[in-house]
Amino acid sequence: MWLAGGVGNERFLVKGGATLNGQVQISGAKNSVLKLMGAALLAEGTTVLTNCPEIDDVPLMQKVLEGLGCSVTREGDRIEITVPEELSHHADFDAVRQFRASVCVLGPLTARTRNAIVALPGGDAIGSRPLDMHQAGLEKLGARTYIHHGCVVAEAGRLKGANIKLDFPSVGATENILTAAVLAEGTTVLDNAAREPEIVDLCEMLVEMGAKISGAGSNTITVEGVEKLHPTEHKVVGDRIIAGTWAYAAAMTGGDITVVGINPKYLHLPLEKLKNAGAQVETYPQGFRVHMDGRPQGVNYQTLPYPGFPTDMQPMAIALSAVSEGTSVLTENVFESRFRFVDEMIRLGTDATIDGHHVMIRGKESLSSAPVWSSDIRAGAGLVLAGLCTEEGDVTEVHDVYHIDRGYPGFVETLNALGASVERVS
């Protein structure tokens, strides 16, 4: 088994009966910083990213970029990426296989080097995420793509703008098509594009680099190709999934948490669901507060692409439902294997029944401790929060916490600062 930057047998010991109170400062988004690092490949020179999170996936992306010939340095939340005039076009297996976001170098490499070889990536066990739409989009732009020896290969002359319509608003496909189209000749119109805030963040950085893009955040993005881009300095957008995790932690534990560093409009639906569950929610220009008195009420959810309820928030919604009053039904419409998390929640005493892509949860006042295993980043976080809702004095062991380290900077430290008792042990 591949292990991220942590130790393979590390686990968290989570004491039950906690109430979380306090303030959390949100760092840059995992789902943005990695794509921005990849986009830096589009311009020779030094691009600077600030507000970068301290998560294990960032040094993994650094390794990918260094393998392509870049120089990458980090100091605090600041990353400097120096891109040479001549890039390697081969992102090797050892670097890429460890995390899904590494495939974001495919578009920039195709545009810059006209010949990209990127190993098929690994990542979280949440379901199939094929590259069909990535390849089809690049082929519309004039590239030839195929799978060879475990790698996706793209070969092209000068790319040419095209009208492209995605079958599904895939975030990854949208990113790779955009980062290829910015250096294509002519106009590209991308229909049914992903609308996530991280897509907007990528487009804003590309525009700062000299790209001509309109429609970011809508279903249709238009790109006027340019000959060349230049480096820039860009601040990474705040991580809405981490912010949402702390919002649901406050509601689950009957706590009071203020989150700073995120535009609350990016979490409109998750925060509305908390209001429906009985939480008091106050929003500010760059943050929000969630306060829960008493036991939450059951609420129904269905995951959808943005601006729908995020699939990455699904584990937190299930964990909240597990301790809510009444019955909740959650429908997963994005990833078919994400209910692996429910089996671990059942170990903790959750009364849940899975039926296809639906899960019905009958809430209890509290859960009971047990050893559980993380299958992905968000499942790991959800299991830790559920462990806080076991009976006072219970200790839940959460294993495979290297997943959590890939997406949550200082997770244990933040929990303990809010009043939890969580220990990392080997």
Binding residues for phosphoenolpyruvate: 30-31
**Rounded to an integer, what distance in angstroms lies between the CA atom of residue 54 and that of residue 259?**
18
- Alpha carbon distances (Å) from 386 to 10, 165, 275, 316, 344: 19, 40, 20, 9, 10
Residue 355: burial class (beta carbons within 10 Å; 0-12, 13-18, 19+) = exposed
CA 306 centroid distance within chain: 12
In the three-class reduction of DSSP (H, G, I as helix; E, B as strand; rest coil), residue 3 is classed as coil
Examine the residue annotation and report whether 124 is marked as an active-site residue of this protein: yes
Backbone dihedral angles phi then psi of residue 302, each to the nearest 5 degrees: -140, 130
Q: Which residues are paired to 325 by β-bridges?
A: 297
Residues contributing to the annotated binding site for UDP-N-acetyl-alpha-D-glucosamine:
100, 312, 334
Catalytic residue among 57, 124, 376, 400: 124
Q: Which residue has the tokens 């996530």?
A: 196
Residues contributing to the annotated binding site:
30-31, 100, 312, 334
What are the b/e assignments for 386-412, b being 16+ CB within 10 Å?
Answer: bbbbbeeebbbbbbbbbbbbbbbbebb
- Alpha carbon distances (Å) from 385 to 12, 141, 294: 11, 45, 17
- Alpha carbon distances (Å) from 380 to 246, 317, 373: 14, 13, 7
Q: Which two tokens stand for residue 276?
A: 């429906």
**Rounded to an integer, what distance in angstroms lies between the CA atom of residue 138 and that of residue 84?**
24
Give the number of other Cβ atoms within 10 Å of residue 369's Cβ: 21
- Alpha carbon distances (Å) from 84 to 183, 222, 299, 312: 17, 28, 52, 35
Please give the positions annotated as active site: 124
